[in-house]
Amino acid sequence: MLTVAAFIFAIAVLIAVHEWGHYRMAVATGVKVLRFSIGFGPKLWGRTSSRTGTEFVLCALPLGGYVKMLDGREGPVDPSELHRAFETKSVRTRAAIVAAGPIANLVLAVLLYSVVYWAGSIQMDPVLSQPLENSLAAQAGFAGGERVLAAGTDADSMEPVRSFEDFRWWLTQAALAKTNLFVEYHESVTAQAETDSVARKTLSLGDLDTRFADASLFRAIGWQGPLSVAQIGDVLPGGAAAMAGLRAGDLVTHVNGVAISDAAQLRELIRSSGEQNPIAVQTWQLNRGGHLLALAITPTRELVAGQAIGRVNAMVGAVPATVVVRYGFWEGFTRSLDRTWEVSLLTLKMMGKMVVGEASLKNLSGPLTIADYAGKSAAVGWSQYLVFLALISISLGVLNLLPIPVLDGGHLMYYLWESLTGRPVSDAWMGYLQRAGLGVLLAMMSIAIFNDVVQLLS
């Protein structure tokens, strides 16, 4: 229920803001708006403004919206109102009205990020777990327990890192840009700036396979999360962990005589056990409330995306340490501007990589995945939900600015042609381009929905 409510609220807000941008710019430039609609299909609610004559409508299918303006191309216009018709306005005015929708989505993202930065949010401490064996982080010399202080793709202009989310963002940007990431850190969690010197290492991310911007990318880098104690959480009944006698709260110290430093190392030992067939029995040494004991555990073997992995059917890892990240008014606002710009560029880069084949089309997500993330972020807390809204709002804004007919960017492309040639795109060409744009959009939606279904079934 939470997932459905969070998804519907998110879509309604983002669509309303997008259409409000078109509406406000139309009103500001003297264009008469006939209808402002959120959703399509049967009308659920409606009200007509006595001052402007605009009909505000809420419809049954909240997966889109539109602003219908007075336009002689769609029907006869009273001569007394011809000056308020959309098609009589200059190219600059029409372009401003069309661009205002996507821009409103980007402005919303800035505001949402600002609220999160000003109010503060609880985030994971930027303390690194032990990197996966043979990963780029392991090859660079990271051992686990380092507290990240700063990161950047330019060695001379590092930026402070206040949370693991900040660090993961830098990893993502550097990986997709196929460049080096410079990392400054203290050697251990307890290290203090006053007494310990700052160390620096370089992660060479130029040769990474970035076709799949998912968990596999961070596995190749070496980290999937921050430092977490190798403590057992919930144990599923009937699973390998329950059958062996594991209990919630058990602290794993050794597996087959190998000392366990954190949960990431333990999870990898469990996962890699699936490469054996049959899986060998593992001896786990535990600390249970101060008492030491050993248990024999045989992970189960499962196929995930064609790869055999081991599972014990229990939560592995304690909740990571957290920090409260809060910024002042001006710093929070400038960071929100920077983050909106960076996410917009990253979105465009990913789309470009998918077009030229450097990124997989599996990175496209549809409504099912968006709904899933909406529910998960809302369950975590309001700040994560606002960040989710900001990300989707940026995606909506950037997508609509693409030069694809039927989208806002396609109309801006028409106006650019008109401003350069002095004449509008012909009706015949407009029809061809609109059909082509609709085909591209339907293809993208089909791929996204297919990816959603595959993810749900995997």
What are the residue numbers of the active site? 19
Closest CA to 236 of 315, 163, 123: 315
Neighbours of 97 (CB within 10 A): 25
- What SS3 state is found at 219? helix
Residue with tokens 């500001």: 28
Token duo for residue 81: 């109102």
Neighbours of 317 (CB within 10 A): 20
Closest CA to 177 of 204, 201, 150, 158: 204
In whole angstroms, give the CA distance from residue 451 to residue 165: 26
In sequence order, what DSSP letters do the residues of 332-385 get, joined into one string?
HHHHHHHHHHHHHHHHHHHHHHHHHTSS-GGG---HHHHHHHHHHHHHH-HHHH
Strand duo 121-124 + 33-48: pairing: unpaired
Neighbours of 234 (CB within 10 A): 9
Residue 237 is given by DSSP the state T
Strand duo 55-69 + 121-124: pairing: unpaired
Closest CA to 266 of 256, 276, 255, 278: 255
402: left (phi over 0), alpha (psi -120 to 50) or beta: beta
